[in-house]
Amino acid sequence: MHRIYLPSLFQSALAIFSFVLLRAPARTANALQLDIHLKLRSSSCLYQTAKIANQNLHLDSSTEAISFEDSLPHVTLYLTDFRNDTILDLIDTLHHLELDHQLVDINNVMVHGAYSMYSVQKTSSMQDLSDSIVRSCRQYMTVNQIVPDWVYDLPEPQRSKKIGYVHEYGSPNVFDEFDPHLTVGYDADSPENDRRVILEQALSNEGGSCQKDKVWDLGVGIVGDWGTVLWDLNDIPLKNWLRMDS
């Protein structure tokens, strides 16, 4: 018999109901854009590194748009629009997956246009985790989703591959196009090089040796502007110990 996680599903149902009452979905009336992600606990050193980097970006620029006072640092595994009437099934499916704990290792500073972020080492374990989630949760996504504008600026054959993934899986960043990262800022007006220096200083000074940490949970989060996660509908514990290749 299919096991139902009643407390988690009940809490998620209340969260979804409250969200729909307080804030209409930004995409369509029948869908929620959700980010299934590696959840950084607030006590973790990587959470603090991300928060310090974001605070320093704010100190340097009045136009920094992301704040971790009202959003959550995270590493996206699968982001797409899901049908409202499937959200509880989606969460139940995630609870039943046998998923590995993860080691998140931020190994490079990246500043792409307005975005400030750290790249995350893509281990085979993390790739398997993302792939499993995409394959298991694809059934709940909305169909005929719009291809993001930035995809059309990519060279071939990557452009066509990402367009195909959007049509089939609702996201351009799945499977071999999965590129894990930790976004810490969005600023369309501040110089890219200035932001790169700030991120490097956050790693070398405040972060010190804390460039990696274990992650024990998934989050299923409501998506805000610039790809932020506003808050999580549900947390899903990762069940299995880290594999040796992680």
Q: Would you say residue 29 lies in a domain?
A: yes
Cα gap 115→188, rounded to integer Å: 8
Strand order through the sheet with 74-83? 74-83, 31-39, 217-223, 229-237
Q: What is the CATH number of the domain that holds 26?
A: 3.90.1140.10
Residue 58 near residue 71 (C-beta atoms within 8 A):
no
Q: Would you say residue 243 lies in a domain?
A: no
Cα separation values, 52 from 73, 79, 213, Å: 11, 25, 16
Closest CA relative to residue 56, chosen from 222, 229, 204, 228: 204
Cα gap 116→123, rounded to integer Å: 22
Please measure the distance between the N-terminal and C-terminal CA atoms of the chain and give it in whole angstroms. Answer: 33
Q: Would you say residue 17 lies in a domain?
A: yes
Residue 203 near residue 197 (C-beta atoms within 8 A):
no
Q: Would you say residue 245 lies in a domain?
A: no
Domain that holds residue 224: 6-237
The structural domain count of the chain equals 1
Q: Would you say residue 246 lies in a domain?
A: no
Cα dihedral 153, 154, 158, 162 sign: negative
pTM of the model: 0.88
Q: Would you say residue 73 lies in a domain?
A: yes
pLDDT by residue for the chain (246 residues), tens digit each?
Answer: 344 444 555 565 555 545 543 443 445 678 999 999 999 999 998 999 999 999 999 999 999 999 999 999 999 999 999 999 999 999 999 999 999 999 999 988 999 999 999 999 999 999 999 999 999 999 999 999 999 999 999 999 999 999 999 999 999 999 999 999 999 999 999 999 999 999 998 888 654 557 889 999 999 999 999 999 999 999 999 987 655 444
